Amino acid sequence: MREVRFEDLVGKVVRNPHGRAIGCIEELRIEPDGEDYVVTEYLIGGLEWLPRLWGFLGQLPTFRALGVGQGPRIRPVPWHWIDLSDPARPVLTEITGSGGR
Amino acid sequence: MELGRHILDQQVIDHQGEQMGKVDGVTLELRPGKPPRVSHLVIGGGTAARRISPGFARWLLRWRRRWGPKTDEPLLVPWSKVLKIGVDVKVDLEAERTSALAWEHWVRAHIIGRIPGA
Amino acid sequence: MSKLLEIALGLVTGIGGFLEAGSLATSAQAGAAFGFQLAWAIALGTICIAFLVEMAGRLAAVSKHTLPDAMRERFGIRFFTVPLVAVVLVSFLVLASELGGVALALQLATGIKFQWWAPVAALAVWLLLWAHNFSLVEKGASLLGLVTLVFAVAAFKLHVPLNELGAHLLPSLPRQEGAKYWFMAVSIIGASVSPYLFYFYSAGAVEDHWDEDYLGVNRIIAGLGMGFGGTVAVAVLAGAAMVFHSRGIQIDRYEQIPLQLAQPLGHWGFILFVASLGIACFGAALEIALQIAYLVAQGFGWKWGENLHPKDAARFSLVYTVAILLAGLLIFTGIDPLKLTIFSMALTALSLPVTVVPLLIIMNDPMYLGENGNHWIANAAVLFISLLACIVAIVAIPLQIVGS
């Protein structure tokens, strides 16, 4: 049984199979599955710091009204698209089944 | 539900409502061919310090070893023990019987308890 | 407790508790140096703190979270350490300033130098918290704190020209000594918008199990309580203007300030000054020490409570014990209490955005406030005042250090 810490996953850069950085893990969505809760989606955010800063400031309605805060898009990615064979280096693949080996 | 938003850093209380600490970490079990499963909540033991910075956690560990309770391991609460997630995270445990309050007991025994009137 | 009683108590606490070392020192200094001109800074600071206190109460009533608890949850431990460290450091300096105020009051009463009173003051504050019946202490301190109304009486007896004072509730530019003017403006705002006020208020609201029925009570206490409290600070400024500014006297020692009460009220003025300084600073010291402990305990999920036996909230009690001990030591070193107070207030203003922005984000998050989130006016006013205070502080503080 392999375990990984959620707080270690957050902020990790997700790359595609060719090694190109795509985004970083911001959040995990979980849903009940019988007795357990399982991860259904990874929320992947942008890499640039400036859009992230605007996104942060955009949490304030005052700044939003001033036009700031069109933050980076956060994209939900189904769980089976992320390969966590190496939890320090998540890989975005679209091959089903690689939840970790 | 989202792990970061709804669970991580939430207040943990025991089945009688006693404060046990914060959810400092969450462990996920990786299963081949299946989605990762939330396995434990992690409380204490330097987990929060590690999130601030691993260097800081190492420095803090030296002090935790010199002072404080002998058992300073993080408390792992199995997900099955979680009763309710709302304003707090309520777990089916008794705070006093877990290591969550190890430091509280140590401070009580070695410092606060020694001052008259406590 | 009935709502009306709550309001009455809240108002008494707001009025009696508003004036402390910071407000007293900054308002008196500003009145002596610039007459009525800086009254607008008190008004601006009071508006800001009234909004913030109301927000802290609303957060507690609707989400059942205290502010530090909500901040850790919403932003995570890493981000949380920034406001945690900033507020603990600034609050510690303010705590020391309050103990300095108590020690100075005792010096004025007895003639024995304030350094020697520092351990006494610290021990007295600590003992009252250790006795874990703070609800009683708080009510007592608030009622006694009403003695600070003597400043309003004195201002009345000095025939302060109200229309002239009123005109200066609007901002104006300095005619001379610009750096000093802006430094004082910033210190006044830092004195009014002390984080300990709204952190402490949020803990109290949660301990009293406030819910959504209390939103109206909360608004009244925050608005009227802080409003009346700010009026007392304006009275200090006005009195100082009448007594010192006209004679060109600058205030650089606490020992000078009693004159603004002694002149209109004679010997009783002096006695009431000593009582005001001692009681107001003592009450504030109690609250700030608790607030530092709340911030740490609530941020880390420890057991906390002002009425718990120390051994039932050991880490919480340890925090306030250490805070009081170190603050007392700082005053014992003989550091100038007035200078410490003024600089702590300026630093508070400098650190305002760090404290205020996370609170504002939470207050607009439906997950915590549901439909009771902030009105746009509150958001804009608090954000504007905090950013302004910080930016002016960044310029004014170095200039003041270089100048003195």
In this complex, which of B24, B51, B108 lies closest to C314 when CB atoms are compared? B108
CA atoms within 13 Å, Cβ hemisphere of C379: 21
Interface test with B, best of C300, C304, C361, C369 (most B CBs within 10 A): C300
Phi/psi-derived region of residue A77, left when phi > 0, alpha when psi is between -120 and 50, beta in every other case? beta
* Amino acid in the structure at residue C200: F
In this complex, which of C63, C69, C315 lies closest to B104 when CB atoms are compared? C315
Rounded CA-CA distance B103/C315 in Å is 8
This prediction's pTM: 0.93
| Model confidence pLDDT, tens digit, residues C19-69 | 899 999 999 999 999 999 999 999 999 999 999 999 999 999 999 999 999
pLDDT at residue number C168:
94
**Is the confidence at residue C171, as pLDDT, over 70?**
yes
Interface test with A, best of C51, C72, C356, C379 (most A CBs within 10 A): C379
Which residues in chain A have their CB less than 8 angstroms from residue C361's CB?
59-60
In this complex, which of A3, A9, A87 lies closest to B39 when CB atoms are compared? A3
pLDDT at residue number C149:
93
pLDDT band of residue C1 (cuts 50, 70, 90) is low
| Model confidence pLDDT, tens digit, residues B75-106 | 999 999 999 998 899 999 999 888 889 999 99
Q: Are C192 and C42 in contact (CB under 8 A)?
A: yes
Q: In the numeric block, which tokens belong to residue B43?
A: 């409380």
* Amino acid in the structure at residue C313: A
**Is the confidence at residue C113, as pLDDT, over 60?**
yes
Report the chain B residue with the minimal C-alpha distance to residue A38.
Answer: B37
Indicate yes or no: CB of B35 within 8 angstroms of CB of A4.
no
How many other β-carbons are positioned within 10 Å of the β-carbon of residue C297? 25
Which residues in chain B have their CB less than 8 angstroms from residue A28's CB?
2-4, 28
Q: Are C99 and C125 in contact (CB under 8 A)?
A: yes
Alpha carbon A26 to its chain centroid, in Å, reads 4
Which residues in chain B have their CB less than 8 angstroms from residue C303's CB?
18-19, 104
Q: In the numeric block, which tokens belong to residue C156?
A: 């009345």
End-to-end CA distance of chain C: 51
For chain B, say whether A33 makes contact (Cβ under 8 Å): yes
Burial label, C88 (beta-carbon count in 10 A; 0-12, 13-18, 19+): middle
Chains near B, with 3+ CB pairs < 8 A? A, C
Alpha carbon C375 to its chain centroid, in Å, reads 24
| Model confidence pLDDT, tens digit, residues C21-31 | 999 999 999 99
Backbone φ and ψ of A37, nearest 5°: -115, 130
Which residues in chain A have their CB less than 8 angstroms from residue B29's CB?
1-3
Which residues in chain A have their CB less than 8 angstroms from residue B37's CB?
33, 36-39
Q: In the numeric block, which tokens belong to residue C379?
A: 């958001």
Report the chain B residue with the minimal C-alpha distance to residue C127.
Answer: B117
Report the chain A residue with the minimal C-alpha distance to residue B37.
Answer: A38
pLDDT at residue number A70:
66
Which residues in chain A have their CB less than 8 angstroms from residue C365's CB?
59
ipTM of the complex: 0.94
Indicate yes or no: CB of B35 within 8 angstroms of CB of A3.
no
pLDDT at residue number C52:
95
Closest CA to A84 of A101, A67, A65, A72: A101
Q: Are A29 and B4 in contact (CB under 8 A)?
A: no
Indicate yes or no: CB of C376 within 8 angstroms of CB of A59.
no
How many other β-carbons are positioned within 10 Å of the β-carbon of residue C85? 12
Chains near C, with 3+ CB pairs < 8 A? A, B
The β-bridge partners of B29 are A3, B37
Task: Work out whether strand B89-91 and strand B11-13 pair parallel, antiparallel, or are unpaired.
Answer: parallel
Q: Are C119 and C332 in contact (CB under 8 A)?
A: yes
In this complex, which of A39, A97, A101 lies closest to B36 when CB atoms are compared? A39
What are the residues of chain C with a beta carbon less than 8 Å away from any beta carbon of chain A? 357, 360-361, 364-365, 374, 376, 379-380, 383
Report the chain A residue with the minimal C-alpha distance to residue C378.
Answer: A62
CA R_g for chain C: 20
**Is the confidence at residue C148, as pLDDT, over 50?**
yes
Burial label, A48 (beta-carbon count in 10 A; 0-12, 13-18, 19+): exposed
pLDDT per residue, tens digit, chain A (101 aa), is 789 999 999 989 999 888 899 899 999 999 999 889 999 999 998 888 888 888 888 888 888 888 776 667 788 999 999 988 888 899 988 744 444 43
Three-class secondary structure of residue C250 per DSSP: coil
Task: Work out whether strand B34-43 and strand B25-31 pair parallel, antiparallel, or are unpaired.
Answer: antiparallel
pLDDT band of residue C87 (cuts 50, 70, 90) is very high
**Is the confidence at residue C353, as pLDDT, over 90?**
yes
Indicate yes or no: CB of C367 within 8 angstroms of CB of B51.
no
pLDDT at residue number A101:
39
Rounded CA-CA distance C35/C336 in Å is 24
Rounded CA-CA distance C54/C231 in Å is 18
Indicate yes or no: CB of B108 within 8 angstroms of CB of C72.
no
Q: Which of B42-46, C3-7, C245-249, C263-267 has the lowest mean pLDDT?
A: C3-7
| Model confidence pLDDT, tens digit, residues C273-321 | 999 999 999 999 999 999 999 999 999 999 998 889 999 999 999 999 9
How many angstroms away from the CA of C388 is the closest CA of chain A?
Answer: 15
- For chain C, what is the mean pLDDT? 93
Indicate yes or no: CB of B26 within 8 angstroms of CB of A5.
yes
Task: Work out whether strand B25-31 and strand A2-5 pair parallel, antiparallel, or are unpaired.
Answer: antiparallel
For chain A, say whether B80 makes contact (Cβ under 8 Å): yes
End-to-end CA distance of chain B: 42
Strand (E) or helix (H) holding B87 = none
Indicate yes or no: CB of B52 within 8 angstroms of CB of C76.
no
For chain B, say whether A59 makes contact (Cβ under 8 Å): no
In this complex, which of C361, C376, C380 lies closest to A59 when CB atoms are compared? C361
Three-class secondary structure of residue C49 per DSSP: helix
Rounded CA-CA distance C303/B18 in Å is 8
pLDDT at residue number A98:
44
Indicate yes or no: CB of A31 within 8 angstroms of CB of B27.
no
Rounded CA-CA distance B104/B30 in Å is 34
Which residues in chain A have their CB less than 8 angstroms from residue B81's CB?
none
| Model confidence pLDDT, tens digit, residues B22-81 | 999 999 999 988 999 999 999 998 899 999 999 999 999 888 888 888 878 899 999 999
**Is the confidence at residue C399, as pLDDT, over 50?**
yes
pLDDT at residue number A64:
84
Q: In the numeric block, which tokens belong to residue C344?
A: 């702590």
CA atoms within 13 Å, Cβ hemisphere of C106: 20
Rounded CA-CA distance A14/C203 in Å is 41
| Model confidence pLDDT, tens digit, residues B35-48 | 999 999 999 988 99
DSSP string, C298-309: HHHT----TTS-
pLDDT at residue number C17:
81
